């Protein structure tokens, strides 16, 4: 059960996005230091990575207002014996949807957008996309819009075989099949929703989404190891990206051209420490969104029956209630919300535990689900066992 649950997190959510910030928080969250149980956390990380033979892993934990703990284990490149370091960046895939959802909610707070606006107010008409869909329905995946990732001609079905550079409008015209259901008539995860949200945000802001994230969140929150990367350009200088590896023969994917990634709503690369800080700023420090819109984000829509186990999905946010957490992990009285991400050679998972005021972030440069699951569960058990 536990592996199936987290398998759902990291395989269903295949892409990612943005956020809103106030003043820079105290530097205590910017200095890697010891938690009361650092050795237990590092031991959990080491044991899980070695057990599952994950190529490399980086993990961070923040408990309330204590200093952040960050641990690493394994290789960035086994062929050169280059080890993972705490400052290495990973592609976080669909975890980025939380950043974009935050940006949309900030625009609502600024009065430039409304959650119940129909998308026809902001976007042109596209085949198979109902103009009556609301912004809220895009955010919580109740729009019914077909997930272009699943289309047989999607570049995500032909990874490293497609050389076409896709524009957002072309995706909407050519890769969106008939809807799953009428707007509001069910729940179905669809990355197409977040392409539409990006287009709305960029129309309002008159700037690329990467600039908006940088100026509104990355710089004010001092997330110095978080960047949006152009898949057709070179990586920014002075950053180190972990090599990504496919289980299909462990071929290093990093040197290969990736024009198909232009179909992503956007590409965020970050460290486990910066990812944990982002979620902790959002939900513990409450620095990013006003209470009204934080409440909107955490208003969870329950998925339709027969979906894989998930208690609900908010606005760019997955949810597990205490009952499901106990059933899945044998840990009672703990709720979790956050997001998972999955792209070729990278997997990510970050969760905030509101009852324990704790954030756990795990990144791996490997595409095997069970490795990420085992590491996360080990850290979760270590934290809950200590705090109780």
Report long-range pairs for 77-86 (Cβ below 8 Å, ≥24 apart): 77/243, 77/252, 78/250, 79/252, 82/243, 83/56, 84/56, 84/57, 84/58, 84/242, 84/365, 85/240, 86/32, 86/58, 86/271, 86/272, 86/273
Query: Per-residue pLDDT for 21 more than 50?
Result: no
Instruction: Tell me the chain's radius of gyration from C-alpha atoms.
Output: 19
Residues 360 and 380 sit within 8 Å (Cβ to Cβ): yes
What is the CB neighbour count within 10 angstroms for residue 24? 15
Quote the tokens at residue 187: 């729940």
Average pLDDT in the 35-59 region?
91
3-state secondary structure of 28: helix
Tell me if 29 is assigned to some domain.
yes
Q: Which residue has the higher pLDDT, 17 or 134?
A: 134
The model's pLDDT over 187-231, given as tens digits with 9 standing for 90+, comes to 999 999 999 999 999 999 999 999 999 999 999 999 999 999 877
What integer pLDDT is reported at residue 232 of this predicted model?
A: 73
Counted domains in the chain: 1
What integer pLDDT is reported at residue 256 of this predicted model?
A: 67
Q: What is the mean pLDDT of the chain?
A: 87
Structural domain including 58 reads 2-95+209-387
Tell me if 66 is assigned to some domain.
yes
The model's pLDDT over 46-55, given as tens digits with 9 standing for 90+, comes to 999 999 999 9
What integer pLDDT is reported at residue 158 of this predicted model?
A: 74
Query: Per-residue pLDDT for 168 more than 70?
Result: yes
Q: Rounded to whole angstroms, how far apart are CA atoms 106 and 197?
A: 13
Q: Rounded to whole angstroms, how far apart are CA atoms 164 and 168?
A: 13
What integer pLDDT is reported at residue 27 of this predicted model?
A: 32
The model's pLDDT over 291-328, given as tens digits with 9 standing for 90+, comes to 999 999 999 998 755 555 789 999 999 999 999 888 87
Tell me if 251 is assigned to some domain.
yes
Tell me if 373 is assigned to some domain.
yes
Residues 16 and 94 sit within 8 Å (Cβ to Cβ): yes
Segment among 34-48, 79-93, 162-176, 242-256 with least mean pLDDT: 242-256
What integer pLDDT is reported at residue 254 of this predicted model?
A: 73
The model's pLDDT over 74-98, given as tens digits with 9 standing for 90+, comes to 999 998 999 999 999 999 999 999 9
Beta bridge partners of 134: 118
Tell me if 313 is assigned to some domain.
yes
What integer pLDDT is reported at residue 44 of this predicted model?
A: 95
Q: Rounded to whole angstroms, how far apart are CA atoms 228 and 233?
A: 11
Tell me if 162 is assigned to some domain.
no
Query: Per-residue pLDDT for 255 more than 60?
Result: yes
Query: Per-residue pLDDT for 23 more than 60?
Result: no
Cβ within 8 Å of residue 45, ≥6 positions away = 57, 59, 71, 72, 73, 375, 378, 379
Segment among 73-82, 91-100, 177-186, 248-257 with least mean pLDDT: 248-257
Q: Rounded to whole angstroms, how far apart are CA atoms 114 and 256?
A: 41
What integer pLDDT is reported at residue 231 of this predicted model?
A: 74
**CATH code, domain carrying 7:** 3.40.710.10
Tell me if 89 is assigned to some domain.
yes
Where are the extended beta strands (E) located within the chain?
56-63, 69-77, 82-83, 88-91, 227-228, 240-241, 268-270, 312-313, 318-320, 336-343, 346-353, 358-364
In the block, residue with structure tokens 């980086």: 58
Quote the tokens at residue 365: 């440069």
Average pLDDT in the 149-166 region?
79
Tell me if 239 is assigned to some domain.
yes
Query: Per-residue pLDDT for 16 more than 80?
Result: no
């Amino acid at each position: 059960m536990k592996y199936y649950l987290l398998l759902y997190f990291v395989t269903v959510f295949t892409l990612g996005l943005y956020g809103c910030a106030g003043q820079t928080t105290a530097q205590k969250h910017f200095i890697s230091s010891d938690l009361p149980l650092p050795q237990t956390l590092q031991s959990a990380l080491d044991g899980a990575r070695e057990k599952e033979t994950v190529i490399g892993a980086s993990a961070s934990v923040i408990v309330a207002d204590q200093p952040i703990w960050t641990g690493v284990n394994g290789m960035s490149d086994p062929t050169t014996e280059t080890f993972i370091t705490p400052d290495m960046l990973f592609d976080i895939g669909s975890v980025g949807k939380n950043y974009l959802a935050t940006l949309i909610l900030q625009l609502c707070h600024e009065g430039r957008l409304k959650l119940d606006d129909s998308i026809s107010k902001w976007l042109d008409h596209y085949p198979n996309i109902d103009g009556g869909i609301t912004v809220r329905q895009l955010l919580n995946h109740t729009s019914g819009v077909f997930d272009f990732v699943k289309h047989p001609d999607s570049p995500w079905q032909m990874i490293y075989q497609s050389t076409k550079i896709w524009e957002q409008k072309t995706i909407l015209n050519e890769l969106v099949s008939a809807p799953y259901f009428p707007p509001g008539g069910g729940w179905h995860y669809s990355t197409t929703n977040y392409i539409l949200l990006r287009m709305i945000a960029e129309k309002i802001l008159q700037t690329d989404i990467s600039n908006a994230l940088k100026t509104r969140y990355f710089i004010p929150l001092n997330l110095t190891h978080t960047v949006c990367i152009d898949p057709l350009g070179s990586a920014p200088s002075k950053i180190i990206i972990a090599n990504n590896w496919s289980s299909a023969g462990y071929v290093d994917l990093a040197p290969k051209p990736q024009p198909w990634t232009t179909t992503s709503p956007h590409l965020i690369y970050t460290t486990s420490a910066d990812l944990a800080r982002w979620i902790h700023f959002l939900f513990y420090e409450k620095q990013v969104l006003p209470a009204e819109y934080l409440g909107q984000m955490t208003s969870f829509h329950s998925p339709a029956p027969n979906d894989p186990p998930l208690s609900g999905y908010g606005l760019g946010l997955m949810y597990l209630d205490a009952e499901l957490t106990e059933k899945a992990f044998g840990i009672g009285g703990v709720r979790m919300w956050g997001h998972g991400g999955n792209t070729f050679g990278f997997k990510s998972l970050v969760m905030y535990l509101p009852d324990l005021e704790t954030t756990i972030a795990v990144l791996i440069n490997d595409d095997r689900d069970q490795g990420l699951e085992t590491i996360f569960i080990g850290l979760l058990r270590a934290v809950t066992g200590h705090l109780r």
